Copies of this chain bind each other. A is one copy, B any other.
Amino acid sequence: MFFHKKETIVKSVNIDEANPRYAQLLLEQFGGATGELSAALQYWVQSFHVEDAGIKDMLQDIAVEEFSHLEMVGKLIESHTKNVDQTEAFKSTLFAVRGAGPHFLDSQGSAWTATYLNEGGDVVRDLRANIAAEAGARQTYESLIKVAPDQGTKETLVHLLTREISHTKMFMKALDSLGKLTDPFFGNIQPDETVDIYYNLSTNGQDERGPWNSDENFRYIANPVQEKA
């Protein structure tokens, strides 16, 4: 059961001057792939099938926080689009046609879709998906901060970016508690004997080697074409 208080979760959202073009970029974190809706719904829907009571609870705690962040992003967009109807900047944005305030669209005007979500069947898969989701969200916040038009907007975005790192830490701790933060294997199917092969399938006449193909963990096949010939 959900409840709502009209105050925002951490601090009030203040901006200098409405900037509807920037508001369109902000949509990326409201209705975009890496946005708060994606995070909230992904973690929350996972909580239905995750068996571990503690991790289930964590997923719900963070999901509810993400809904509250979605609200903060929405309020930022509202501030950057309200009462600016007569400006040229407004006319060149989707808000001129769709109305002021947030919409579940990304910065390019594409509607949010649940195909953005990665979840199902196993808690390890879910937690890895969540670390990736947080990485995407953080990356988009960094992009938005770089072009933020005023200090108030920037501070709100830095806070939201901060919390993505906090959540990443939580997900890493949870994954580590299952022994799966640094262990590639999980699940119930035993891999076959090819598990340590590295195929050098893309070539330029020189070998690029690194920890991901060079140590005792890997059998490096330098020329898979020849092996096939």
Residues of B within 8 A of A185 (CB): 165, 168
The CA of A191 and the CA of B131, in the complex, are separated in Å by: 17
Task: Tell me which residues across on chain B come within 8 A of A100, comparing CB atoms.
Answer: 49, 121
A3-B2, A3-B5, A129-B136 in contact; A212/B177 too (CB < 8 A)? yes
Residues of B within 8 A of A39 (CB): none
**Docked complex: A166-183 residues within 8 A CB-CB of B:** 166, 168-174, 176-177, 181-182
**Which of B1, B55, B168 touches A228 (beta carbons < 8 Å)?**
B1
30 contacting pairs across A/B (C-beta < 8 A): A1-B7, A1-B8, A2-B2, A2-B3, A4-B202, A6-B60, A6-B202, A49-B82, A54-B208, A58-B208, A64-B202, A65-B201, A94-B107, A97-B107, A98-B121, A99-B143, A103-B120, A109-B110, A115-B116, A118-B133, A122-B135, A125-B132, A125-B136, A145-B189, A162-B192, A162-B194, A172-B182, A172-B184, A173-B217, A176-B182
A154 to chain B, nearest CB (A): 10
Q: Mark A130-153, 1 if CB is under 8 A from B, else 0.
A: 011101101111111111000000
Determine the distance from Cα of A210 to Cα of B105 in the docked complex, in whole angstroms.
32
Knowing A176-B211, A192-B159, the reply to whether A101 touches B49 (Cβ < 8 A) is yes
**Other contacts beyond A57-B202, A118-B133, A125-B139: 18, CB < 8 A:** A1-B7, A2-B71, A3-B203, A5-B203, A6-B202, A45-B101, A58-B210, A61-B198, A68-B201, A103-B114, A115-B116, A118-B118, A120-B139, A125-B132, A125-B136, A128-B131, A169-B217, A170-B198
What number of A residues sit within 8 Å (CB to CB) of B?
Answer: 138
Contacts of A158 in B (CB 8 A): 189-192
